[in-house]
């Protein structure tokens, strides 16, 4: 796995760790970050490449994937072994940021599609309060086996496409409902008229959400 860091010119006030979707690479998330308009806070962006692995849905072809996908249904995306291995990788990246002096509340996990699924899973299995979680066109894997340890006041941004044929909108809605039933009240849920992609309005909304939450932590330091 490769890690790429976009370090700001001034000391970082927060760090966003980005995970791409199935078959993509870190450059996808780099392109998304270039579209964000955030001028009032200083962010460090960390981009991860998923491990190379065979993906059953694609005939066993080896490609960047956080975990295996056996079929098109949500239950076919429950590769617990692969998910846990990738969670360990993401956790190690979080630990590096903590050792460099950031507080857990200054760390955000973000991702698109399978990367968003990993952002949700890894965050919910973190015994702390994170700055927040951004899950785009994603869903929570292993929901039935997850007992969250993440602090309940951690905020979430969930975005989904109304016409997404790959990650069905109902999957994102069910993930939102799961979070609410578990006591996570700060869940910002957005739907956009798109398929499996990211649109301009979504990047605008992410920009505002990130700026507001990073500033909120800065105004209320631990």
> Which positions are annotated as active-site residues?
113, 164, 196
- 8 A C-beta contact, residue 164 and residue 133: no
Torsion sign over Cα 56, 59, 61, 63: negative
Let me know: does 154 contact 213? Beta carbons within 8 Å: no
Is the CB of residue 44 less than 8 Å from the CB of residue 141?
A: no
126-130 own/partner pairs: CB under 8 Å, 24+ apart: 126/91, 126/94, 126/150, 128/104, 129/104, 129/105, 129/153, 129/154, 130/104, 130/105, 130/154
- φ and ψ of 63, to 5 deg: -160, 170
Q: In DSSP terms, which residues pair with 187 in a beta bridge?
A: 156
Q: Characterize the bridge pairing of strands 52-55 and 61-64.
A: antiparallel
Q: Which residues pair with 159 in a beta bridge?
A: 136, 190
Beta-carbon count within 10 A of 220 CB: 8
């Amino acid at each position: 796995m490769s890690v790429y860091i976009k370090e700001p010119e001034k000391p970082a006030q927060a760090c966003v760790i980005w995970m791409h979707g199935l078959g993509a690479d870190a450059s996808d998330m780099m392109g998304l970050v270039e579209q964000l308009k955030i001028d009032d806070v200083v962010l460090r962006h960390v981009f991860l490449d998923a491990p190379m692995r065979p993906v059953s849905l694609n005939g066993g072809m080896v490609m960047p994937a956080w975990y295996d996908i056996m079929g098109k249904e949500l239950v076919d995306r429950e590769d617990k072994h692969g998910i846990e291995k990738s969670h360990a990788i993401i956790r190690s990246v979080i630990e590096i940021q903590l050792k460099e002096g950031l507080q857990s509340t200054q760390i955000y996990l973000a991702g698109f599609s399978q990367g968003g699924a990993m952002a949700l899973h890894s965050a919910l299995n973190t015994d702390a309060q994170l700055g927040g979680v951004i899950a785009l066109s994603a869903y929570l894997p292993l929901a039935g086996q997850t007992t969250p340890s993440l602090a309940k006041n951690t905020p979430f941004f969930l975005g989904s496409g109304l016409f997404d044929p790959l990650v069905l909108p109902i999957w994102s809605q069910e993930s939102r409902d799961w979070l609410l039933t578990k006591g996570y009240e700060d869940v910002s849920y957005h739907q956009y008229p798109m398929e499996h992609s990211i649109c301009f309005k979504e990047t605008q909304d992410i920009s505002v959400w990130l700026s507001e939450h990073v500033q909120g932590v800065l105004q209320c330091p631990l």
